[in-house]
Every structure is written in C-alpha cells, then in structure tokens.
C-alpha cells in the first residue's frame, strides 16, 4: 500500500512540475527602428527548474508580429521545447483602483440617498400630522388668542419642515448628479481599464536546476518608424552647416524607457520561408520572389538589376514628387507602398542613369551604367588587399570624378581601408561629422545604422520624438543664381559635391540664410548623383531686373515671312558689403520645325547651349557694383503660324 501511495505522489509531483508556470518580467534593452517597423530586444535572468517548465513572458506589445518572435537561451544544458504567442487581457492597476473607489462611492451615494428619502417621508408624515392637528384645534372652540398662538406654532413648524425638505431634495439632486458623472466616467474608461497585451509561452527542459540563465527575446513591431529631417544654415562667408536629425514615432502600446536606440535605413525581414531554387541560365533571365507582407492597396514590388543581370544592392527607389521611398535589399529586390495608385517610381544609384517608371507589381528594372561617373575600385571586408589577391571578397564601386576605368593590381593597394564592426563596414569613404551625440555609424551595402550610445525614452503614442544626431561642416560651393525671365529674386544655391559621403536620406530640411528662416525644402539625394543642389533662399541684398529694349526690338512682314528681333537688357547690382559671384541665366527660343529660323544676334560673355537655348553669364560683382548684359535674337517664320515671339 505504501508503494502505491509513493508512486501516486511521484506522478502527481511530476504532473505539477510539468504544468508549472512562471511569470517572467523582461526588460527592453535596445530597439532598432527602421524606416518602417522596429525590432525590440528584451532580456531577463531566470532560474531554470529541473524537468519541463512553462515560462510566461508577460506584458509585451499587443502590436508585435507573432511570426517575428525570437527567444534565445545562453545555456547549452537547457532545451527550448516550444515557443507560442497569445493575446491576453490585462487590467491597468491604477485604473482598476480608481474603478474600485468609484464603485465604493456609488454605494455610499446610494445609501445616502436612501437615508435622505426616508427623512423626506418622515417630514411628510410630520407635516400631515400638523395639518390634522390644526383642523382638530379649529373644531374645539378655542379663543382667538389661543388660535393665534396655535397658528404661529403650526406656521413655524411647517416652515421648518419645508426648509428641511428643500435642503434634503437639493442634497439628493447633488448626489444624483455625482452618481451620473461616476457612471459616465466609468463607461468612458471601461475600455481603458482592460487592455490587450502579448504573452509568449516558453517551455524549457533541463535535467537539473540552473540559476542565472540569460534569456533574450526580440520581436518586430510594425507600428514604429523614423524619418530624417535636416537643418541647413548658410552664410556667404562660411562653410555650410548641415544638421542631420531624426524624428522617431512609435505606437506599439508599450513604452521604451531608457533604451539604447539604433536607427537603420534598412528594412527588417521576418520571413522564415526558405529561398526558392532557380535554374541558372546564361544570359541571366528575369527572376523575382514576391516579398512577404505585401498586401493591401498601392503596393509596388520588384527586382532591380544592372545590364549584366547583377542585383543592384542599395538602389534607391523614390515615389516621384514625395519623400516616400525605400532601397533594394541584398537580392536587389524591393517593396514599397505608394501614396498614389498611379505613382511613378524613380530608380537611382550613383554611377547609373536614373529611370522613372510607373509603379506596379512584379516590376523588373534594368539600370544602365553612366560611364562618366564611375571609378571602379574593390572594397574588401577584412582590410586592404591587392585585387590579384582577392578570394571570396565583396566587389563594389566607389564613385569619383575621373572617367571610368579598372583599378590595376598596383593601384589596388590604395583602396580605402575598411574596418569591420559587427558585420558592418565603415571606411574613410564616409565623412566624419564635426559634432554629434555619442554614437557609432555602421555602413553596409544595403543600409546605414546610427547606433546611439546615450539612452532614450520614447513613449507609445502619436507624439514624435526628435533626436539630434549629427552636424557637418561642408565646404559647399555656394553661388548666387538669377533667372530674371522667371523671377526677379536672386537665390543662394549650395552645391554639395560627393553628397553620398554623408549618408543622406530623403527628408524635409529647414533652411536658414544669415540666421533668418527661409522656409522648407525637400532633400532628395536619390535624385542626384555626385552633387546635391540645395536652393537655400532669396537674398534681397542683390537686385536683378530684366527689361526689353524697345528701340532694338522690331517685327516686320516681308513677303510671306515674319521677321522678329527681340532684345533684352539685364542689370544685376550687388548691394552687399562683400564681393559676390552671380550665375545669371537667360534663354532664347529653339525652333521645332525647319521653316522657323532662330539666330542669336548678341550674347557677349555668355556660355551658349544650342540644344536648349540656355545662356549663362558668370558675373563677379564688387560691393556696390552693378553690371549689365544684353541678349538679342532674331526669329523668321512663315505668316501661316499664329504664335507670338516672347
């Protein structure tokens, strides 16, 4: 009998241990925020019990993607049996206390109103009794004096009772109003008291108890993002200052308190599907794997290659006219949800000719090399090597101003050194900022990561959190531009050479000229190649005017042909205290048909582009100096045409 009891107890204890559940509170250590989505990294120390035990990782974001959940255990003696996700209901402790207090108050109000109503009943009984006694007294033949005293008594008593009744009714109304407010507030906050949270059910198995086991948990929340925004400050006499900032937003239903923040230009991939096998043909044929998570309206996706069929890693794809964009991944593939159903996408990469194509599904884009911009070098992930020594290295392109050419074996020693940090490549190919918060910038072929060393707190909600990251002093080429045919203002334009060295992304920039706010502009480096052009703003200290010279302008009809001569004079004046250089532009018309003849009569000092009719003067103006330029052209055309020459 004892043996039977011992066996039963052993089975019961084993069953209890098998189903034992332990709540584990994990802490958010770091978050990597992408242009769309964020990876949350949590950790905890746990005690793993002997046998099979279930651990509940609680209070996680209800917005997490359950397919992205990853759990790690750093002890080889512990086996992960299963990982499951579920949604639970959680009551907010503080709001629950408030609800309990409100319920208690409602009960007190109910009891108080009941007591007050009982007092009203008593008052009514007393009033009826006084009225009855008044009638009896009148029937007993009392003297006038006695009746007067009796009347005063009844009046006084009835008045006191009426006053008491009014006070009680006011108090009942006050309680009733308070009760209604409590009920209304309870209805409004009922949904807030109970919230949805995620729980990860983790089953572990061990042959012994182990203390202080490190547990890691990470998952993707799609309801987070970051966008760059810039501050551009310019003067005529100093370098351009470019502030590179980030705007972070998250609504994951959990707060990120004092976490290490990483901002990445890449896209998180959560697919667990193995890659498909493709037959390898020569020449390469079109291939593309539809990405996971592509659903809903206005999704464009596809594959970008070069003329040899090689994947265009890091190719920038931007919805034309917006800052909505993405980059091609390590397989040259991309996906983008456009803002418009009929959007055009611009594909661009330094060293290749940009293309603008209507968005769609399963797009296949081939970019052609721009031979004037390429200067091919080899970058390796483990230091500088000669090209003849490379085995299994990564070959890439660095852009320069020279004509395209292959790097010889002797020249390969001069390739920029690359330092590996956590599988990301960094090199002196990129410019170090003059000023920044403590951070590390890690660069790969497909993304740039800004790893911020100081902790940040970002609450869940609709409010953006601004992060001031970097500040560059850029020796930009600043020049004044004037096009008086279209505008009487002179604009300061900054040309930023080798802009790819600053890892710029599409975003909004606030412009300041001489510490005066000029408005906003869009920085779209994907639309540029080596040089980024920024129009900083108008400078009223430089004036420009364009006037038609009447005595040199004419129109005549000879036979069946019109002859028109147009002459314009433009005056540019420098009202500043420093010398300036102004790039002045004008134009003359280009004939579409052979029976229309256009010829330049006067364009002294101008560079002439005969393809588009643009004329450019470079004017160096001393303080207070003004200069004039003249443009004159002649147009001959048959009188059958009805247009006017501008």
Token digits of residue 193: 């008291």
Which pLDDT belongs to residue 430?
57
Query: CA torsion 308→312→316→321, rounded to 10°?
Result: 40
d(CA 379, CA 307): 21
Phi, psi of 36 (to 5 degrees): -145, 110
Evaluate whether the domain defined by 542-638 bears CATH number 2.170.140: no
Task: Give the number of residues written for the chain.
Answer: 646
Q: Which pLDDT score, from 0 to 100, does residue 81 have?
A: 93
- What per-residue confidence (pLDDT) applies to 406? 35
Report which of 154, 244, 172 is spatially closest to residue 473, judged by C-alpha positions.
244
CB atoms within 10 A of CB 399: 20
Q: What is the DSSP string of 177-236?
A: HHHHHHHHHHHHHHHHHEEEEEEEEEEEEESS-EEEEEEEEEEEESSEEEEEEEEEEE-S
Residue 523 vs residues 126, 132, 154, 324, 405: alpha-carbon distances, Å? 86, 93, 90, 12, 31
**Alpha-carbon distances, residue 465 vs 244, 302, 461, 612 (angstroms):** 14, 33, 10, 47
Residues 25-66 have pLDDT tens digits of 999 999 999 988 899 999 999 999 999 999 999 999 999 998
In this prediction, residue 211 carries a pLDDT of: 94
The pLDDT of residue 199 is: 92
DSSP notation for 577-645: SS-EEEEEEEE----SSTT-EEEEEE-TT-EEETTTTEEEEEEEE-TT-EEEEEEEEEEEEETT-----
Please identify every stretch of the chain with a pLDDT value under 50, giving residue numbers as ranges.
1, 4-5, 7-8, 11-19, 270, 284-288, 292-295, 373-429, 527-528
CA distances to 113, 114, 117, 165 from 123, rounded to whole Å, are: 15, 14, 10, 7
Tokens, residue 314: 């890091």
Structure tokens at 526: 């994907």
**Distance separating alpha carbons of residues 417 and 394, to the nearest angstrom:** 13
Measured in degrees and rounded to the nearest 5, phi and psi for residue 415 equal: -65, 140
Q: What is the CA radius of gyration of the chain?
A: 40
C-alpha dihedral sign at 55, 57, 59, 62: negative
CB of 265 closer than 8 Å to CB of 505 = yes
pLDDT of residue 378: 32
| pLDDT at residue 373, rounded to an integer | 44
Q: What pLDDT does residue 14 have?
A: 45
Retrieve residue 322's tokens. Answer: 């917006």
pTM for the predicted model, two decimal places:
0.56
pLDDT at 566: 92
Task: Kindly report the number of other CB atoms within 10 A of residue 576's CB atom.
Answer: 16
At residue 219, the pLDDT reads 94
- The pLDDT of residue 392 is 30
């Amino acid at each position: 009998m004892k043996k039977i009891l011992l066996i039963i107890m052993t089975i019961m204890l084993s069953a209890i241990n098998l189903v034992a559940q332990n709540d584990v509170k994990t802490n958010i250590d770091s978050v990597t925020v992408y242009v769309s989505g964020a990876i949350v990294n949590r950790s905890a120390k746990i005690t793993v019990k002997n046998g099979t035990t279930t651990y509940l990782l609680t209070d996680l974001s209800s917005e997490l993607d359950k397919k992205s959940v990853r759990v790690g255990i750093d002890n080889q003696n512990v086996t992960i049996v299963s990982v499951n996700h579920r949604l639970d209901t959680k009551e907010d402790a503080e709001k629950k206390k408030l609800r309990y207090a409100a319920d208690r108050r409602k009960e007190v109000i109910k009891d108080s109103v009941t007591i007050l109503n009982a007092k009203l009943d008593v008052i009514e009984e007393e009033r009826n009794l006084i009225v009855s006694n008044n009638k009896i007294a009148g029937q007993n033949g009392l003297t006038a004096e006695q009746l007067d005293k009796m009347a005063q008594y009844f009046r006084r008593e009835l008045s006191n009772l009426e006053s008491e009744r009014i006070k009680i009714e006011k108090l009942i109304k006050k309680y009733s109003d308070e009760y209604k407010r409590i009920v209304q507030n309870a209805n409004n906050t009922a949904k807030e008291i109970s919230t949805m949270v995620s729980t990860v059910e983790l089953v572990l198995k061990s042959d012994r108890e182990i203390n202080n086991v490190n547990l890691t948990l990470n998952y993707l929340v799609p309801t987070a993002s970051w966008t760059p925004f810039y501050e551009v400050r310019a003067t005529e006499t100093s370098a351009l200052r470019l502030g590179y900032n980030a705007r972070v937003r998250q609504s994951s239903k959990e707060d990120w308190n004092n976490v290490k923040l990483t901002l990445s230009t890449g896209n998180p991939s959560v697919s667990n599907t193995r890659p498909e096998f493709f037959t390898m043909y020569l020449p390469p044929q079109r291939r593309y794997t539809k990405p996971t998570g592509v659903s809903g309206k206005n999704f464009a996706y596809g594959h970008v290659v070069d003329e040899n069929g090689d994947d265009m890693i890091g190719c920038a794809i931007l919805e034309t006219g917006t800052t909505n964009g993405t980059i091609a991944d390590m397989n040259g593939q991309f996906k983008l949800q456009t803002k418009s159903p009929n959007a055009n996408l611009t594909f661009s990469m330094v060293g290749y000719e940009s293309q603008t194509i209507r968005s769609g599904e399963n797009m296949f884009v081939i970019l052609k090399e721009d031979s004037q911009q390429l200067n091919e070098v080899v970058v390796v992930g483990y230091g500088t090597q000669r090209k003849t020594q490379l085995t299994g290295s990564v070959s890439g392109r660095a852009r320069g101003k020279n004509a395209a050419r292959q790097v010889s074996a002797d020249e390969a020693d001069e390739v920029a050194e690359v330092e590996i940090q956590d599988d990301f490549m960094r090199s002196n190919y990129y410019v170090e900022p003059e000023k920044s918060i403590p951070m590390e910038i890690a660069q790969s072929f497909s993304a740039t990561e800004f790893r911020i060393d100081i902790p940040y707190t970002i609450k869940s909600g609709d409010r953006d959190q601004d992060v001031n990251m970097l500040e560059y002093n850029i020796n930009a080429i600043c020049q004044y531009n004037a096009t008086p045919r279209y505008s009487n203002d002179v604009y300061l334009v900054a040309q930023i050479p080798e802009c790819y060295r600053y890892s710029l992304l599409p975003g909004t920039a606030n412009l300041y000229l001489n510490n005066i706010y000029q408005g906003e502009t869009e920085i779209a480096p994907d639309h540029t190649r080596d040089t980024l052009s920024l129009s900083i703003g108008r400078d009223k200290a430089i004036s420009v005017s364009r006037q038609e010279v009447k005595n040199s302008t004419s129109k005549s009809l000879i036979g069946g042909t019109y002859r028109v001569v147009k002459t314009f004079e433009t005056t540019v004046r420098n009202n500043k205290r420093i010398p300036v250089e102004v790039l002045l532009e004008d134009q003359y018309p280009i004939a579409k048909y052979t029976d229309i003849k256009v010829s330049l009569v006067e364009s002294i000092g101008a560079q002439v582009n005969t393809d588009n009719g643009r004329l450019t003067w470079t004017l160096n103006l001393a303080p207070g100096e003004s200069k004039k330029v003249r443009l004159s052209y002649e147009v001959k055309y048959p009188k059958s045409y009805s247009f006017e020459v501008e």
